[in-house]
Structure 1
Amino acid sequence: MAAEAAGAFRRTPIERSDQRVAWERTDQAFFAAGACHILAWVCRDSYADRPIEIAAVRFAGERQVFHVYAIWDGWAFDHSGWHPEPQLLAVNIEFEGRPLERVKITVSIAEFCEKHHHRMPNQYWHDPLPRAFEYVGRYIPPWL
C-alpha cells in the first residue's frame, strides 16, 4: 500500500460530532483521522523490544498537530502501514499544499490528549485498542 495523506480521510462534520458515525468508518479512515494517536501508541506498545517513538505533524508555525504516527529507524507507521518517514511527510505536504513541521512527542498518551485536544481510548464509541492492535498486526514491520 502506498503512503496516503491523512487529510484525505478527514472527518465530516457529522463524523466529528457523532462518535458512532466516526467509529463506523473503515479502519483506514478511522486511524487516519480521529484515532491516529491511538494507533501510534499501540504500534509502540506492540513492539516494546524496539525503540519506537511517537511523532506528529502540524502546519508550519501552528501549535496544534493534526496527524500522529510511530517512528522507528527512519520508518513511519500510520494508517498507510510502514513507509520511510520522508515519504510519509512528502505525501502529507503535497496533499496539504503548504509546509508542515514534524514534532517529536515525548509525553504520555494522557498528557498528549490533554494538550492537543485528542480523545483518550475510553472516550470513543467503543474501545479502539483491540481494533488498533488488530490493524497494527496487518502490516509487516521493516525489520522482519
Structure 2
Amino acid sequence: MTAQAAGVFRRTEIERTDQRVAWERSDQAFFAAGACHLLAWACRDTYPARSIGIEAVRFEGEQHVFHTFATWDGWTFDHSGWNPEPQLLTVNTEFEGHPLERVAIAVTLDDFCDQHHHRMPHDYWRDPMQRARDYVRRHQPPWA
C-alpha cells in the first residue's frame, strides 16, 4: 500500500465526540486519525527484537503533534503500512500544505497521551490495542 496522508481520514465532528461512531470506521481510517499513536506503540511492541522508534509530525512551530508512526531503518509504519520514510513525510506535507517538523517520541504511551492530549486505550469504545496488533500483523515488515 502506498503512503497516504493522515489528513485524508480526518474525523468528522460526530466521530470526534462519539467513540462508537469513531470505532466503526475502517481500520485504516481509525488508525490514520484518532488512534495512530496506539498503532505506533503496537508496532513497536509486536517486534521487540527490532529497534523500532516512535516519531510524530507537527506543524512547524506548533507544540502538539497530529500524526504518530513507528520507524525502523529508514522505514515508517502507520495506517498505510510500511513505507519509506521520505514518502510518508512528503505525502503528509503536500496534503497539509504547511512545513512539518518531525519529533522523536521518547516517553511512555501514558506520558505521550498526557503531553499531547491523545486518548489512552481505556478511553475508546472498545479495546483498540488488539485491533492495532491485528492491523500490524496484516502488513509485511520490510525485513521479512
TM-score (norm 1): 0.99
Distance in 2, matches of 1:63 and 1:100, equals 12
The runs of at least 4 consecutive aligned structure 1 residues that moved more than 6 Å come to none
Distance in 2, matches of 1:86 and 1:102, equals 11
Q: What is the DSSP-based 3-state SS (H/G/I as helix, E as strand, rest coil) of the residue aligned with 2:66? A: strand
TM-score (norm 2): 0.99
Q: What is the DSSP-based 3-state SS (H/G/I as helix, E as strand, rest coil) of the residue aligned with 1:139? A: coil
In structure 1, runs of 5+ residues without a counterpart are none
Q: What is the DSSP-based 3-state SS (H/G/I as helix, E as strand, rest coil) of the residue aligned with 1:40? A: helix
Distance in 2, matches of 1:99 and 1:129, equals 31
Residues 85-96 of structure 1: pairs in structure 2 closer than 5 A: 85-96=85-96
Distance in 1, matches of 2:129 and 2:10, equals 21
Distance in 1, matches of 2:19 and 2:109, equals 20
Distance in 2, matches of 1:46 and 1:128, equals 14
Distance in 2, matches of 1:17 and 1:142, equals 36
Offset at 1:32? 0.2
2:132 corresponding residue in structure 1: 132
Residues 84-136 of structure 1: CA distance to partner in whole angstroms, max 9, x if unpaired?
11110000000001100000000000000000000111110000011001100
The alignment-based identity, stated in percent, is 69
1:98 corresponding residue in structure 2: 98
Pairing 1:79–2:40 present: no
In structure 2, runs of 5+ residues without a counterpart are none
Residues 1-144 of structure 1: pairs in structure 2 closer than 5 A: 1-144=1-144
